[in-house]
């Protein structure tokens, strides 16, 4: 927030910094007239600003025209370009003469407006000389289609200091689904915007009676910063609370959160591998029995390179044999395969190695003559998985204890992956997504909804190659809408994500972009001027496109009311944790400007 306690976006205070401006906006303050020196069309026009009046990028303006037979036609749009120039200057050097008063000239400002709505739909250009106004409250809602959004959720504040909304019909599958968020890592605040969007969905009232049963599944890869969503943020002040009030949202943390974390390596008791959080955390892992019965071997080979390798068919054959031949042993999740007991993942890998290297038994496992080179390539890749996967594929922990990732225990389920190697992260994401997708398929109904937040989407669904995880994500993108599975995917580079996933996202969001990435065709939904702005956007500013509004909106979302790192976490109301027991630990939200 600025010194006067108002929203600041991209370092510039909004018009609310002066008390008189909001009232003027409600009344529809005149700022200029439609230019006659530039061609006006039903899609865009230029405005000459009156002396002493200003407009900014993203301001909403309106003009009207009387059309015979139709009455008054409203033409509304968003300012996309603002320019100032000297009228009367012929040469660049004239600026010095004008400044010294030796040459007469006038400073004139113009703005380009991209039309967002014509009401009624009589597509005629505004007439040169027509007065142009800053949109008042009703005109603004009409210009941005907020008046026809029966179910809208706040997504932040505009540059005019007023709330901006997204139509929930394009999030819950009614008319579209899925969100794609792109931006530079550590600067674009992609995860922060995704969590705020979830919070807004849960607390804006659009879910009505379904709110309690609607779930969110978040995969966390950035330390333990997302493990405190149910804790108040100690840095939240009264000014920030006022922003939430103007958005119609309570300023409080998520109400129901359950964290799942992998067991500590070599821990015989399966204690969750987290350091800062001690309550509401459960360990997750898969027993060897589940690994064999559910044919999870294919997720050990979840890299796109594995699918292109010659041993990809061998993976399915071995998985089928394990499902048929593995028998439970005891109550610890161990299995007996071909007379050999396996109590760890390493034991199972060693068994497969012995069997596949033996000429007599190899054909039983492969089902056909398989080149030894292919078998050896499979085994090399399998052996390399022992170390990363051993903590989460277990045969030494009680089989009956709860150890599965479930979304039924809380409204928000967080799967902590930051302590796992990348290969183990792929395994967890693939298996958990498959389980939740199958659960929704078997339920036979799209309600209640399940929102899945997945960062680093380009790692799990790359543009080139195939993998089991990519297949699942494609299924979610293409069929999830009908099943009530909504993907909120974040990535540094949308150009490296499978096209069908990005194209199926009804809502597209961009934060700070790398200049080379911004030039890619995947960002064609951003106007040229907005692409350039995205390369210098400050943390907390996002550009959001939704199907109903022809122009992406620049949105500043509020400072999180929930802790985004351990040092911000206040003690829960029912807990006995000290107010700030984790002071000094790093977080991911240092760059978000306070509102």
> Could you count the other beta carbons within 10 Å of the beta carbon of residue 303?
19
The architecture (CATH level 2) of 163-264+412-568 comes to 3-Layer(aba) Sandwich (3.40)
The reply to whether 163-264+412-568 shares the fold of 8-143 is no
Q: Which of 554, 557, 550 has its CA nearest to residue 592?
A: 557
Q: What is the pLDDT of residues 421-451, one digit of tens each?
A: 999 999 999 999 999 999 998 888 888 999 9
Q: Determine if the pTM surpasses 0.75.
A: yes
Token pair recorded at residue 12: 């510039």
| Cα→Cα distances 186→152, 457, 543, Å | 29, 15, 17
> Could you count the other beta carbons within 10 Å of the beta carbon of residue 453?
25
pLDDT given at position 310:
65
Q: What is the pLDDT of residues 481-515, one digit of tens each?
A: 889 999 999 999 998 998 999 999 999 999 999 99
DSSP code for 579: S
Domain boundaries along the sequence of the chain: 8-143, 163-264+412-568, 286-390
pLDDT given at position 1:
34
pLDDT given at position 510:
93
Q: What is the pLDDT of residues 352-405, one digit of tens each?
A: 998 888 877 888 888 777 778 888 888 999 999 999 999 999 888 776 668 889
Q: Which of 144, 154, 160, 169 has its CA nearest to residue 551?
A: 144
Please give the CATH topology (third level) of the domain spanning 8-143.
Answer: Thrombin, subunit H (2.40.10)
Q: What is the mean pLDDT of residues 256-273?
A: 87
Q: What is the mean pLDDT of residues 476-485?
A: 90
DSSP H or E run through 158: none
């Amino acid at each position: 927030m600025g010194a006067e306690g108002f929203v600041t976006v991209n370092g510039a205070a909004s018009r609310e910094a002066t008390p008189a401006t909001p009232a003027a906006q409600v009344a529809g303050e005149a700022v200029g007239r439609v230019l006659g020196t530039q061609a006006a069309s039903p899609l865009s026009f230029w405005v000459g600003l009156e002396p002493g009046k200003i407009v900014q990028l993203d301001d909403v303006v309106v003009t009207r025209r009387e059309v015979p037979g139709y009455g008054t036609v409203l033409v509304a749009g968003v300012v996309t370009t603002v320019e100032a120039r000297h009228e009367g200057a012929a040469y660049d050097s004239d600026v010095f003469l004008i400044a010294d008063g030796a040459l007469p000239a006038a400073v004139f400002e113009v703005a380009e407006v991209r039309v967002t709505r014509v009401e009624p739909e009589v597509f005629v250009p505004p007439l040169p000389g027509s007065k142009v106004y800053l949109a008042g409250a009703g005109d603004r809602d009409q210009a941005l289609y907020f008046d026809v959004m029966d179910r809208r959720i706040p997504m932040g504040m505009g540059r005019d200091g007023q709330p901006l909304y997204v139509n929930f019909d394009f999030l819950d599958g009614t008319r579209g689904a899925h969100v794609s968020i792109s931006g530079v890592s550590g600067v674009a605040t992609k995860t922060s915007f995704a969590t705020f969007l979830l919070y807004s969905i849960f607390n804006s009232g659009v879910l009505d009676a379904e709110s309690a049963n609607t779930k969110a599944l978040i995969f966390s890869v950035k330390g333990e910063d997302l493990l405190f969503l149910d804790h108040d943020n100690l840095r939240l002040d009264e000014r920030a609370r006022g922003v939430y009030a103007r958005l119609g949202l309570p300023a409080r943390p998520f109400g129901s959160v359950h964290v799942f974390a992998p067991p500590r390596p070599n821990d015989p008791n399966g204690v969750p591998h987290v350091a800062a959080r001690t309550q509401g955390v459960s360990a997750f892992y898969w027993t060897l029995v589940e690994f064999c019965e559910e044919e999870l071997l294919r997720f050990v080979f979840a890299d796109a390179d594995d699918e292109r390798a010659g041993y990809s068919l061998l993976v399915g054959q071995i998985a089928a044999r394990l499902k048929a031949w593995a028998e439970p042993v005891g109550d610890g999740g161990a299995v007996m395969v071909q007379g050999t007991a396996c109590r760890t993942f390493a034991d199972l890998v060693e068994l497969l190695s012995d069997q596949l290297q033996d000429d007599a038994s190899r054909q039983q496992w492969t089902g056909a003559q398989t080149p030894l080179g292919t078998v050896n390539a499979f085994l090399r890749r399998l052996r390399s998985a022992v170390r990363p996967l051993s903590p989460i594929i277990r045969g030494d922990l009680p089989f009956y204890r709860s150890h599965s990732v479930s979304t039924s225990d809380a409204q928000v389920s967080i799967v902590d992956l930051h302590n796992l190697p990348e290969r183990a992260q792929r395994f967890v994401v693939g298996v958990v997504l498959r389980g939740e997708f199958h659960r929704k398929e078997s339920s036979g109904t799209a309600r209640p909804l399940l929102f899945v937040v997945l960062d680093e989407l380009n790692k799990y669904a790359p543009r080139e190659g195939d993998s089991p995880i990519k297949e699942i994500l494609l299924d979610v993108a293409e069929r999830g809408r009908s099943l009530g599975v909504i993907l909120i995917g974040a990535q540094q580079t949308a150009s490296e994500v499978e096209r069908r996933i990005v194209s199926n996202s009804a809502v597209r969001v961009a934060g700070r972009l790398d200049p080379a990435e911004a030039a890619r065709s995947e960002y064609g939904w951003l106007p040229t001027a907005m692409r350039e702005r995205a390369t210098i956007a400050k943390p907390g500013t996002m550009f959001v496109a939704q199907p109903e509004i022809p122009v992406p909106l620049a949105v500043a979302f509020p400072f999180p009311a929930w802790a985004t790192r351990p040092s911000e976490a206040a003690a829960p109301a029912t807990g006995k944790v000290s107010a700030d027991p984790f002071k000094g630990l790093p977080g991911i939200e240092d760059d978000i400007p306070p509102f």
